[in-house]
Every structure is written in C-alpha cells, then in structure tokens.
Amino acid sequence: MFKKKIQNRKGFTSIELMIATMIGGIIMLGVGMTIADSHRGFNAMYDRVYSDVVTDGYIARKTFDSVLRRATRTRFLLDSGGKWLEAYYCQDPNATIVDSYARFSEANGELNIEYGSLNPRQTLSTNTICGNVVGCIFFKGAGYSAQMILTLDNGSETITVVSSAVMHNQ
C-alpha cells in the first residue's frame, strides 16, 4: 500500500498574492486621492484667506476704526452722496483744541486717506490705504458713529467690508 504523504504548505499561492496586491493597491489609491484632494482644498483656502482683497479689506477696516476712534464726536463732515468722510481730531492726545483732520475718499480704484492741519488748512500727506476698490460709501451711523461699506474685487475674488466706528473724543 502506498501511503500518501501529507505536506504542510507554507506561504501563499500566486492567486492569494495577486488578490492581496490588488486590495493594497486600491487602498493606497484611495489614500493618495484623499491626500491630494485635501492638499488642493488647503491651497484654495490659503489663497482665499491671504489674497490681496482680504488683506486690503483688513487694513482698510483697521485704519478706518483707529482714525475714527481718535476723532471728535462733535464735528465731522460727510459728503451728501457718501463719497468721502472727514473726521477732526487733536494731534496731541492731551490737547483740547481740535487741530487736525483725516479725510477718507475713494478715487481711481483706491481708498485714500488725507491727513492735514486745520489752522491754517493744509494737506500734510495723502496715503493709499488699499487698492482693488470697486465701491465705497460712507454714512453716519447711530449716535456718534460713522460707517464705511467697502467693496473690493481683484478679478477673481470679491469681498465687502462693513466697518463702524464710534468717535470717542469731545
């Protein structure tokens, strides 16, 4: 009689290796696509957050707020069409006499601020706060506040910045 010798097989068959390789490949492809999509999403968000219109909007809002918070609440000029706003303030924080002005206006796609003295009236400097301006309007808010609605557009992104500041000084 012949005895069959039973062999213990060790290892994998080629079919098992092919199936495991295909499963591993599909998993790696899914992980790679997820990483690539996350990277694209991060880059898009980064570009939006740090685009020039967002930065310009932030700078315009901060400048508007800081100038108007120093301004006197008893006197400021506002164009009837909202094209410009002129706020008066004391150059020296300890002074009681208003001697300076700051005038916000939009021209040629830029938001500008003009600083000057009142006695005698003369312009000391004009600075560009931001570019990419497609619309800007100023108006009187409630109480002693003024507001600015600024629309910026760089061709690929448009934002609208609304800022309101209260004039604190007498």
pLDDT digits (tens, 9 = 90+) for 134-153: 999 999 888 888 999 999 99
pTM score, whole prediction: 0.69
Q: What is the pLDDT of residue 12?
A: 81
Query: In 10 A of CB 104, how many CB atoms?
Result: 24
Provide DSSP, 32-92: HHHHHHHHHHHHHHHHHHTSHHHHHHHHHHHHHHHHHHHSBSS-EEE-TTSSEEEEEE-SS
Is the peptide bond prior to 120 cis by the omega test (within 30 degrees of 0)?
A: yes
- Stretch 142-170: mean pLDDT, rounded? 86
Q: What is the pLDDT of residue 119?
A: 86
pLDDT digits (tens, 9 = 90+) for 43-78: 877 776 666 788 889 999 999 999 998 888 777 888
User: What amino acid occupies position 124?
Assistant: L
Q: What is the pLDDT of residue 4?
A: 66
Q: What is the pLDDT of residue 6?
A: 64
pLDDT digits (tens, 9 = 90+) for 1-29: 566 666 666 778 889 999 999 999 999 99
Cα gap 166→159, rounded to integer Å = 23
Q: What is the pLDDT of residue 170?
A: 61
pLDDT digits (tens, 9 = 90+) for 87-122: 998 888 777 788 899 999 999 999 999 999 988 889
